[in-house]
Amino acid sequence: MARTLINAPTSARRGEVIEIRATIGHPMETGFRPGEDGKIVPRNIIQTFSCRYNGELVFSAELFSAVSANPYIAFHTVATDSGTLVLNWEGDNGFTQTESINLSVTA
């Protein structure tokens, strides 16, 4: 399991633009670097990130070999209804990490 840090509000007013910031600790390897034995270290990166708000996709990103280790992603969405934000990272070697945040929306 990877270490994630997520900064997002737990409450907002209806129609308010909220910012979600997330970073994940992951041992990234580009697939281009030689290891100590001279052989290429296999690629191991996070390939996709997505966020769903009450099941609706509100943000997604496709990541490539140039992505940094422990990638940081920030984006905005509009608070419409109380519910759940589900953040999902997927990568090489079957890697997947999912985190959820509850958001309470008031009138």
- Distance from C-alpha of 24 to C-alpha of 41, rounded to nearest angstrom: 21
Q: List per-residue pLDDT tens for the chain, 107 residues long.
A: 689 999 999 999 999 999 999 999 988 888 889 999 999 999 999 999 999 999 999 999 999 888 888 999 999 999 999 999 999 999 998 999 999 999 999 98
Q: Which tokens go with 44?
A: 């191991």
**Is 91 in contact with 47 (CB distance < 8 Å)?**
yes
pTM of the complete model: 0.89
Buried b or exposed e, range 60-73, using 16+ CB within 10 angstroms = eeebeeebeebbeb
Q: What value does the CA radius of gyration of the chain take, rounded to a whole number of Å?
A: 16
